[in-house]
């Protein structure tokens, strides 16, 4: 079975993430979306809350599993027997950081390949931090996140 992992902090998950997740799910037998800790980010939602929000968005997809893990991605991939790590690439500005992580993960777990999917054009500018900033100022985020999690985000972050 071809298993891929789609890792991220997903704080919160956006339309851009969902696009990458659903496209990746069409390419593999099983896709594990895993909520992880990014040491450089301070999160607004707990890992459990982030998992629940993603589940609400991808519940219809039978080959998508949502999980969280507090450790190294390379170790998690080995534990799950994954062949691939899927990441979305927006602009060139993502590239250096993603390239560095892909090389580090390859060193730690040579059995897993990192594959990059280019973001859909309409999501080029979209990020979780942008969504949070707009929500915190009372702006309309309905075009940026799935409708099923809109209230979760506004209740936590909105004005």
Q: Which residues bind ligand PNS (CB under 6 A)?
A: 7-9, 36-38, 41, 72-73, 101, 104-105
Q: Considering only CA atoms, which of 9, 143, 98, 30 is closest in space to residue 135?
A: 143
Angle of the 92-108 helix axis to the 73-80 helix axis, nearest 10: 60
- Determine whether 156 is an active site residue: no
C-beta closer to ligand PNS: residue 133 or 138: 133
Instruction: For residues 157 and 40, give the distance between their C-alpha atoms in angstroms, rounded to a whole number.
Output: 20
C-beta closer to ligand PNS: residue 101 or 117: 101
CB of 17 to ligand PNS, least distance (A): 8
- Determine whether 17 is an active site residue: yes
- Determine whether 50 is an active site residue: no
Catalytic positions are 17, 41, 90, 128
């Amino acid at each position: 079975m071809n298993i891929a992992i789609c890792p991220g902090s997903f704080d919160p998950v956006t339309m851009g993430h969902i696009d990458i997740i659903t496209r990746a799910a069409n390419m593999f037998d099983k896709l594990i979306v895993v909520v992880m800790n990014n040491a450089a980010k301070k999160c607004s939602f707990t890992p459990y809350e982030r998992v629940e929000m993603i589940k609400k968005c991808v519940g219809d997809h039978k080959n998508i599993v949502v999980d969280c893990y507090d450790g190294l991605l390379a170790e998690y991939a080995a534990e799950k027997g994954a062949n691939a790590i899927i990441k979305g690439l927006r602009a060139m500005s993502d590239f250096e950081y993603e390239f560095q992580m892909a090389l580090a993960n390859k060193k730690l777990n040579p059995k897993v390949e990192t594959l990059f999917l280019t973001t859909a054009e309409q999501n080029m500018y979209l990020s979780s931090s942008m969504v949070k900033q707009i929500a915190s100022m009372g702006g309309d985020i309905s075009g940026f996140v799935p409708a099923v999690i809109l209230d979760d985000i506004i209740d936590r972050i909105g004005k």
